[in-house]
Amino acid sequence: MSRYDDDKNRVLTCAQWLSDNGYFGCRLSSGGNVSLKIKDTDLIAITPTNKTYHDMTLADICVVDKNLKQVEGRLPPSIEIGMHTAVYENRPEIKGVIHTHQVFASIFSVINQPVPSLFDEVTLALGEIADIIPYALSGTRELAQNVSSKLGNQCHSYILQNHGALILGSDLEIALKNTELLEKSAKVYHYALTTGKHITFTPQSSIDHFKHLRMSS
Ligand SMILES: [Zn+2]
């Protein structure tokens, strides 16, 4: 038993849902990672490296402090922990971070094109754009720095060039919902582009309206 078991269980439940629903790109791999900021502490709970989600248990979820010192967990934390801590340092309102290899967002990661605002409910939740974070090798300080450089737009989802997606939320369960919304948006945009027809976007007045709502909530 650990006093962080509730937090660790939320991370495990979220990661296994994402894996079961194909958001890590391959159900048999250990790709992708999930974390949350533990309330009233400088600690984060995060999935471990190199462990398939199907076999993951509560004891595998890591607890790490802001200096990346591991407090709990029998495996090392995800190699992408630097990407997660970059978000928590730059965006104090964010308490949950999800990194996926979800298929439709990944299409935009390889054509290196952002996913724009298409629907009211997505714009309210995610912001006006899922912008591109430039490529750097997985798990590197350079990738974490590239993430940091894009967080100033206050949006809640990003496309990692030639890699996948990064999704944020004011708690982990909201980040999970945002992950689904990003995939819906990327899927619709992909299919809309394949029609070759003119695509309409959310009007700027609506984007501004939802931005105001999001920032004041
Ligand atoms: Zn990845």
% of the chain at pLDDT higher than 90: 91
Spatial contact of 4 and 35, defined as CB atoms under 8 Å apart: no
Phi, psi of 177 (to 5 degrees): -60, -40
The ranges assigned to domains in the chain are 5-216
| 121 is annotated as an active-site residue | no
Tell me, in angstroms, the distance from the centre of ligand 1 to residue 183's CA.
16
Q: Which two tokens stand for residue 139?
A: 């798990």
Spatial contact of 84 and 97, defined as CB atoms under 8 Å apart: yes
> Would you state the pLDDT for residue 215?
79
H/E element holding 100?
Answer: strand 96-100
> Would you state the pLDDT for residue 30?
80
Specify the residue for token string 């004041």.
216
Catalytic choice (72, 80, 93, 173): 80
Please count the other Cβ atoms lying within 10 Å of the Cβ belonging to residue 204: 10
Rounded to two decimals, what is the model's pTM?
Answer: 0.96
Helix intervals (H) in the chain = 5-20, 81-90, 103-110, 120-126, 141-150, 172-195, 204-216
| pLDDT of residue 85 exceeding 90 | yes
Tell me, in angstroms, the distance from the centre of ligand 1 to residue 76's CA.
16
Distance CA 25, CA 103 (A): 6
For residue 212, give every residue at least 6 positions away whose Cβ sits within 8 Å of its Cβ, in sequence order, or none. none
Architecture of domain 5-216: 3-Layer(aba) Sandwich (3.40)
Tell me, in angstroms, the distance from the centre of ligand 1 to residue 99's CA.
6
Q: How confident is the model at residue 87 (pLDDT cuts 50, 70, 90)?
A: very high
Tell me, in angstroms, the distance from the centre of ligand 1 to residue 31's CA.
6
